[in-house]
Each structure stands twice: as structure tokens, then as C-alpha cells.
Copies of this chain bind each other. A is one copy, B any other.
Amino acid sequence: MNDVKVIEIKKSVFEDNDREADILRDELKRKGIYLLNLMSAPGSGKTTTLIQTINRLKDKIRIAVMEADIDSDVDAVKIQSATGVSSIQLHTGGMCHLDAGMTRQGIDAVVGKFDLIILENVGNLVCPAEFDTGAVRNAMILSVPEGDDKPLKYPLMFSVCDVVVINKIDVLPYFDFDLEKCKEYIRMRNPKAIVLPVCAKTGEGIDAFADWLLAEVRTWQNK
């Protein structure tokens, strides 16, 4: 059976999201939980990237996934059946992003002890960038078919992300996507961003992302 828990997220009641995010981060720190906020446009390959990454890490650390979606539960089912890790679906009821209060509702519904909880945010390059979820780090996926100019058009998203995974590099020959130009645009928005080209379908490049994430979790727990 692939039944997953589905949580209907309610609108947050908090006025000061930044403060709520800091409180949540402090709580997670005390519990030794690293929260990663993964963002992207629709269809960039978040779920496939997560499956590849989790399968490389699940024997080393305890992982749970929260899949935010407006309505369906296809992603949570896919993650759970492909990796075996605990996965819950957060229904945002039409809301286009998650803030710290909404993220907390998801975390409260995750049952068990975990080192890493990954939040797959709503597929959207605009609104999710504006809200601190309480995560330790923000990462995003940009896929080759979306075009190398996206850092010019969605500046805030690229500014708030510590890691930019460039997915679907297997189709580079079929698209006008200049990887060097894209890296340059990303650096304009965020000079410190780590850029990792991958192909989630074949697994190429995923080791680098998994290694970065494992080192992050270990540092967070020992700091």
C-alpha cells in the first residue's frame, strides 16, 4: 500500500513570520533536526531529485519528507514508494507558498525521530521565496528546459537560495541553455550560491548534492 498521511494546512495566524521562523529554527536545533526548504518552478524535477538524494543518504541519517501541494498527493506517494522513507503530503488549499506557521503544522504531523526533514515547497518561483519557513537552508532546482535567463526574471528566488541545482543536463543538446551564462546570472543574484549541475533521471551529479546535504546536517547537529 502506498497510503500517505495528508495534512490540510491552515492559514497562519502569526503576523511576524520572520520571528516565527526563528522560533521554529531554534526548536529544531534543540531537537537536532535539520530542515531543508526545496523550491522550484513546476516540473523542474524536485521529486525525482529528492528520490535520488534520499536513496544515497537514508542508510546514514533518518529522513522524512513533507510534500507541499495545492491538491494532489502524487509526490508523497512517489517518494514513499521509491525510497521507503516517511513522507507526508501537505495540502495548501490553493495557497501558493508555505510560511513558518504552515511549515510547523507539517512538522508537528511528522511522527518519529529524524535528522533531516525536507520540505518540498509549492512549485512556484515567486511567492515561496518571500517567506522564511524556518529551514536551515534554502535550495532550489532550475531545469535546463526553463532557460538560462531565469535568475534575471526571478531575482528574489535566486538571492535567498544557498544551493542552485541545475537539473536535466542530459537534454542540454536540445535546448539553447548556456550553463556558464546561467552561473554568471546566478552569481549576480547571490555570489555565494553553490551551483550543482545534475541529471536526476540518471543520477549524474547527485552525489555532490547528497554530500553537501549530509555535511550540512552533521554540522548543524554538532554546532
Chain A residues proximal to chain B, CB less than 8 Å: 41-43, 69-72, 74-75, 94, 96, 122-127, 130, 143-147, 149-150, 152-156, 168, 170-171, 174-175
Contacts and interface: CB of A to CB of B under 8 A. Distances in A.
B70 A145 contact: no
Given A70-B126, A127-B96, A171-B174, A43 B147 contact: yes
Given A41-B42, A72-B152, A174-B174, 8 more contacts: A42-B146, A43-B145, A70-B155, A71-B152, A123-B154, A124-B127, A145-B168, A170-B174
Contacts of A174: 170-171, 174
A202 to B, nearest CB: 12
Given A145-B145, A145-B168, A153-B69, A96 B43 contact: no
Contacts of A156: 70, 94
Contacts of A72: 149, 152-153
B171 A42 contact: no
Nearest to A148: B43
A126 B96 contact: yes
Counted per complex, copies of this chain come to 2
A40 to B, nearest CB: 9
A152 B42 CA distance: 12
A74 B152 contact: yes
Nearest to A130: B94
A121 to B, nearest CB: 11
A203 to B, nearest CB: 16
A69 B126 CA distance: 11
A170 B171 CA distance: 12
Nearest to A126: B96
A168 B145 CA distance: 9
A73 to B, nearest CB: 10
A46 B209 CA distance: 31
List 6 A-B pairs, minimum CB-CB distance, nearest first.
Answer: A43-B146, A145-B145, A96-B126, A41-B42, A43-B147, A72-B152
B94 A42 contact: no
